[in-house]
Structure 1
């Protein structure tokens, strides 16, 4: 089985969380918010993975009559099958004089695909407009009054740089349209050489979902260096240094190696397994593991390693579960109406999606048989490539993508014809890599929930699919609590 069929973590999510310059740190400005004519700071940084440059980030902070404008840009270049895959992130954030969010404009581009999100704060709510292939979707989310915006939190807290300062605040992450808690702590000071001179810097540690980033910041707020998980580092650079790229880009397969979880023993025939019992170690909160119709979690055991760090190991039993109850599409729709709703990434109300899906299922009335037809079509017609896509429409137009792309298109098709469907994210075993890789797959309701896998062509997902998170893009940040932290031990296999 090719590696590309098994690789999940959307690259945008990896770089959002692993490249601190993107998280901390252009679209057109909004003239209605006034002029910003006082430059406060301007920074360029190189983004490195395993000591190789893969991109750069840029941040400019300006002050005006209405408050502040923070402009961020980042570019990432990776290599997929010897072909460059370019990604760019651009964000303009408008803050009040008190450094509170007023508005943002976020643009994300992967190759020729683009997604633009704008957000405006009104009466304690954030009104979002998400534009991509297929049109514009709207969403309103509640935010707490003290919520910070992901890329501007460093600036907002810059006057708090004092050893011992620690605070946990909610932040809104535009790429995921989600709010999470971030802990910001100044843990010490040290001297670093900057432009040939020794400079005092504060050591700032930030943590989100347990993933820590360490930043080295001068008393004036200039970031010299940032270190994050999976060997990602950002280093201060000049503009000319930042914009310069070598010809050899880092292959995406390097990221796959870092995310691979190798169990204590290989699994010979994952597709044949009926029941898989394993233990997941390194968990901080085992109660967050999903416990559902095919996956059950046993009593966790607390363990302490040589460094006296505590974690939990939880026994997990997963069954390959075929449906035993069957409903018509009409009956399934009535039973689970919330799982038929469109979303910005899964445009089940789009005319093109509806038209193709109806052709796929023909006159089929049975929900399970309709789901199987959709699964077969996506497996056969979408090429397995390490290419990220924002939406189901993007996948339908390009006919290529990784597992998230297959899952989004399948889910859009299913919902569009009345078959309730939802997204699961987690791990699946790769025979080629002899380990577990991050993956996404859909679940459908046909009288009971069934896990399917259009990426692998499985009408019933095999028992090596370990569900870690349920839900769409807003929930994907929860995967970060597992990346690079957990281990897997195979306890028993039943065929």
Structure 2
């Protein structure tokens, strides 16, 4: 319930739904084509009264492996002018042996057609707090992010007819009509907006008659993930089963208010970082590798850009080759008029390039140096040496990282990118995998906890020196990044939602290693 705070409702086209139903051997009914009197009587009405019947506060406990690891609650109110949905959750997870407490809160205001008018989202972890607010204005959502005493804003196009909140997925599905007699399944299409990453991803919603009278199974599928709801005829949640990536099973069940207040939450022994590991043999002295060739399986290779800088893909064989340290570089002035590089010099919600603190620190680091490569090296050294390396759950934000001077690979990458772009060095963030011979390895400053070799999810950067792109890893102090860095996605932190379907499915097997001494 706390995994999809905002959703844009967009019913699946009738011909698309029918085609999908036929291919899966299920019976499909379109809301627009449902004309039988029996079905009409079975369907709740899409009206203020229908949604208003769900006023009041509901509470849930979140359990995993016989432990209560969190709780969530939502309140649904109807006023004379709109609907108000308030939802909160808190959960404890373990990352690299450290317990992390995550709190979220979202408040939405919707009109009687279930179109969002405004929202207010909060994420708090430890000393970090971020708030993202949005307001509908003439077909757009005006979004503002407040974090680390800094504010960024942008407009997001909203053309869908209905915009809803997380718990409303259940209610909206029912308002579109229950599966009538003889029709067991209804399917719909929604676009899910994740405010913490400003990402919009498609979600398929399937409503199926349950084997238990008066109950329905509601399945939500997006980015390779599934959330299973068991709901009553009036939309009340009876049970929800989900998987927190990579593979932490969580079950939400209703709870009385008093029990909710007194609920004791403990962190699961399930380590999220360790569980995300892609098993792989130990690689002795990985820094000595010139190239690495692996076989990729378990995922659709077309969903990710495996063939890119440093990487080549032939069939399912992926080869990563380390670049040479460049023997030439250009001054920053040489990039004047290079419109093809403008995207790599701009900022976004998480990389506020124009913020005065970022601009000031970038000037301080590079000084009078004009050479692009030397500027990048200076910024790399500053980020690597200045940040305390520790697991960090937050919205990766360059300003907050500059202030806190701590974080994991995401914080290192966003701070480097912001500073480098502010210094005129074209930079792109890369998200992918890196091999480690231990469970926890944040480079030379870390202490391994267990000998569990494999590939772990990681972020690093690539910079343009006026002639070519070169990789850098400011978390692990590698220039260029080693051959065990496998790039999957290029972009900002918002792109990481694309990795959800990859976790737990990707498999890698060793084909060939070439060391520098062998060439």
Q: Is the structural similarity TM-score above 0.5?
A: yes
Question: Structure 1 regions of 5+ residues with no counterpart?
Answer: 1-19, 26-35, 192-198, 300-313
Deviation for aligned residue 1:418:
0.9
Residue 33 of structure 2: aligned partner: none
CA distance in 1, matches of 2:69, 2:314: 42
| 2:420 is the counterpart of 1:414 | yes
Change (3 A) 1:417 1:240: same
Residue 462 of structure 1: aligned partner: 482
1:28-427 matched pairs, under 5 angstroms: 40-78=55-93, 84-146=99-161, 148-149=163-164, 151=166, 152-159=168-175, 160-162=177-179, 163-191=184-212, 200-229=214-243, 230=247, 231-246=249-264, 248-250=266-268, 254-263=271-280, 265-299=281-315, 314-324=316-326, 326-332=329-335, 334-335=337-338, 336-390=341-395, 391-427=397-433
CA distance in 1, matches of 2:303, 2:54: 47
| 2:462 is the counterpart of 1:475 | no
Residue 11 of structure 1: aligned partner: none
Deviation for aligned residue 1:22:
3.8
Change (3 A) 1:90 1:386: same
CA contact (8 A) 2:242 2:251 kept: yes
Q: Which contiguous aligned blocks of 4+ residues in structure 1 show a shift greater than 4 angstroms? A: 36-39, 79-84
**What do the CA deviations read for 1:328-360 (whole angstroms, capped 9, x no partner)?**
223246531221112221122222222222222
Deviation for aligned residue 1:92:
0.7
Change (3 A) 1:182 1:81: closer
Residue 10 of structure 1: aligned partner: none
CA contact (8 A) 2:388 2:407 kept: yes
Q: Which moves more between the two structures, 405-414 or 47-56?
A: 47-56
Q: How many residues align?
A: 443
Deviation for aligned residue 1:150:
5.1
CA distance in 2, matches of 1:449, 1:78: 37
Deviation for aligned residue 1:287:
4.5
Deviation for aligned residue 1:273:
1.5
Query: TM-score, normalised to structure 2's length?
Result: 0.80
Change (3 A) 1:136 1:207: same
Give SS of 2:152's match: strand
CA distance in 1, matches of 2:331, 2:454: 38
Query: TM-score, normalised to structure 1's length?
Result: 0.84
**What do the CA deviations read for 1:379-403 (whole angstroms, capped 9, x no partner)?**
1110111123431111111111111
Residue 13 of structure 2: aligned partner: none
The structure having more radius of gyration, on CA atoms, is 2
Change (3 A) 1:224 1:285: farther
Change (3 A) 1:248 1:61: closer
Give SS of 1:62's match: strand
CA contact (8 A) 2:93 2:272 kept: no
Change (3 A) 1:334 1:369: farther
**What do the CA deviations read for 1:142-165 (whole angstroms, capped 9, x no partner)?**
123235345233332232343301
CA distance in 2, matches of 1:44, 1:480: 27
Q: Which moves more between the two structures, 372-381 or 155-164?
A: 155-164
CA distance in 1, matches of 2:485, 2:193: 30
**Cα RMSD (Å) of the superposition?**
2.3
Change (3 A) 1:51 1:365: farther
CA distance in 2, matches of 1:247, 1:236: 16
Residue 30 of structure 1: aligned partner: none
Give SS of 2:211's match: strand
Deviation for aligned residue 1:78:
3.4
**What do the CA deviations read for 1:25-81 (whole angstroms, capped 9, x no partner)?**
9xxxxxxxxxx9976242212223434222111111111222311111111223568
CA contact (8 A) 1:205 1:212 kept: yes
CA distance in 2, matches of 1:80, 1:478: 21
CA distance in 2, matches of 1:490, 1:141: 43
CA distance in 2, matches of 1:438, 1:119: 31
**What do the CA deviations read for 1:442-468 (whole angstroms, capped 9, x no partner)?**
221112222211110112111111111
CA distance in 2, matches of 1:243, 1:319: 55
2:4 to 23, 32, 52: 23
Residue 445 of structure 1: aligned partner: 464
